[in-house]
Amino acid sequence: MSRRQALTSGAAMLAAGGLPPAQAHWDGPVVRALEGLEDFAPAIEAYTYLYPLVTMETTRRIMTNVAAPAGTRAPMGQFIKARSYPDASFRDVTAPNADTLYTTAWIDLAREPWILGLPDMKGRYFLFPMLDAWTNVFQVPGTRTTGTGAQTYAITGPGWRGTLPPGVKEYKSPTNMVWILGRIYCTGTPEDYAAVHALQDACRIVPLSAHGKAHTPPAGQVDPGLDMKTAVREQVNRMPLPDYLALAAELLKANPPAAADAPMLPKLARLGIVPGQGFDRARLDVDLAARVPQLAFDRIMLHFRFSGGDIQSANGWSFTTKTGLYGTNYLQRALVTAIGLGANRPQDAVYPVSKADADGKAYDGASQYVIRFPAGQLPPVQGFWSVTMYDENFFFVANPIDRYSISARQALQANPDGSVDLHVQRASPGAGREANWLPAPAGKFQLMLRMYWPDENDPSILNATWQMPAVRKVMV
């Protein structure tokens, strides 16, 4: 029986079950409506598949829409050097961190490779992951993988073939769009800021044709009509579907699907997208255009709760070790894009998130909470760990001491038995406990634990046998 026959039979049975004869004319509209539903599933899949690509491009446009480097923005091919931790006004990416100073750059490999030079970090923890247009971390030079000595790399595009200068190691990108998302650990003191600033200033990014020569980057091209204030995720989510798909089609020309994505291509084609070609808006159904974006994003966020094993939970903390490299797990890739764009590979960082306390109740600044680490049970990492406070949308929240995360660098005070309590609350817990205080907002919030470079001699983070303690509400 064909799909149409089955739908028609179903409509006929509904009529036979008591619909008035006068409503027999419903058969046509009902069948057409039901048939239309079969287009929503592939459309939602296609939207989800393209979500990282569109988000990366929107992020790139905003972060590079300046004539010269300034603050958290710089033109293409120039470093953005964060000189201090972001504050509560930062909206360029979701789930920013307050543990490292970002040193980032966007490059386009379509014309030629780019040369990345990193200085001797002198034993300081750092990593410079490289993300392709689909958010896959295709290379990760850094303390864990390459050591802290000076190093030079050539980042080449998928179609480039040529000869590189001696002493330059090639990193081939799957796409022409690349985001170098460098992080250098910093304690946040004036002295350490100055030391990291010197390292940032020694980082170098130039096109291959300028390698070994004096190079003055050209001024960036500024689009005055670009929205530079609205958060990237909000801009992407409210983008009309025809515009979303048209942008994706253009991006696919320089950032083609991976070979493993072949089964997705027919679904894209149903929406009028063929890699390498422009978008055919005439083929897009009006009903799809109106409904797919919200349905698709809701499906992406539902993956946080119904992930089929991609997300694990323990003691009220949800976490995943499936970040950085996603294969064909498009829902996971889209979810990480939505809540933690730029996430590392699990060998470099794992990010448990908690939205509710030990009793399953959502966090609220009207209450007080405590996280107690038993003696000797702080996160087993070789890099660093921290607990960060976010609002409901994974952005920092303003607080009276400008503290957005808490970690060992706060000189945490231990209890007499060796355990360590973290106080999560809006008001100060008292002068003797402020070192262990993570300020909360007045309303709803959520927490993220960062564990950078899980101990290679202790697999308990990656195999989930080490568990973050539950967050317990304090009865006052």
Pinpoint the residues of the chain covered by CATH 2.60.40.1610: 66-210
Give the per-residue pLDDT at 5.
40
Pick the CATH number of 66-210 from 2.60.40.1610, 1.10.3720.10, 1.10.486.10, 2.30.30.30: 2.60.40.1610
Q: What is each CA distance from 8 to 14, 38, 216, 285, 287, in whole angstroms?
A: 10, 15, 68, 22, 21
Pinpoint the residues of the chain covered by CATH 2.60.120.600: 312-473
Cα separation of the two ends of the chain: 66
* Ordered mean pLDDT values, 10 residues apiece, the chain (476 residues): 36 32 41 53 93 98 97 95 90 83 97 98 98 98 98 96 95 98 95 98 98 94 95 94 95 95 93 89 81 93 87 93 96 93 95 95 97 97 97 91 93 96 97 95 95 96 94 90
Q: Which amino acid is at 75?
A: P
Separation of alpha carbons 135 and 141, rounded Å: 16
Bridge partners for 371 per DSSP: 422, 471
Give the per-residue pLDDT at 38.
64
Between CA 420 and CA 428, with CA 426 as vertex, the angle to 5 degrees is 60
What is the Rg, in whole angstroms, of the alpha carbon atoms belonging to the chain? Answer: 25
Q: How far is CA 310 from the centre of its chain?
A: 16
Separation of alpha carbons 251 and 257, rounded Å: 10
Task: Tell me, letter by letter, the H, E, C secondary structure of the chain.
Answer: CCHHHHHHHHHHHHHHCCCCHHHHHHHHHHHHHHHHHHHHHHHHHHHHHHHHHHHHHHHHHHHCCCCCCECCECCCCCCEECCCCCCCCCCCCCCCCCCEEEEEEEEECCCCCEEEEECCCCCCCEECCEEECCCCEEECCEHHHHCCCCEEEEEECCCCCCCCCCCCEEEECCCCEEEEEEEEECCCCHHHHHHHHHHHHHCEEEEHHHCCCCCCCCCCCCCCCCCCCCCHHHHHHCCCHHHHHHHHHHHHHHCCCCHHHHHHHHHHHHCCCCCCCCCCHHHCCHHHHHHHHHHHHHHHHHCCCCCCCCCEEECCEEECCCCCCCCCCHHHHHHHHHHHCCCCCCCCEECCEECECCCCCECECCCCEEEEECCCCCCCEEEEEEEEEECCCCCCCCCCCCCCEEEHHHCCCECCCCCEEEEEECCCCCHHHHHHEEECCCCECEEEEEEEEECCCCCCCCCCCCCCCCEEECCC
Q: Which architecture does CATH list for 312-473?
A: Sandwich (2.60)
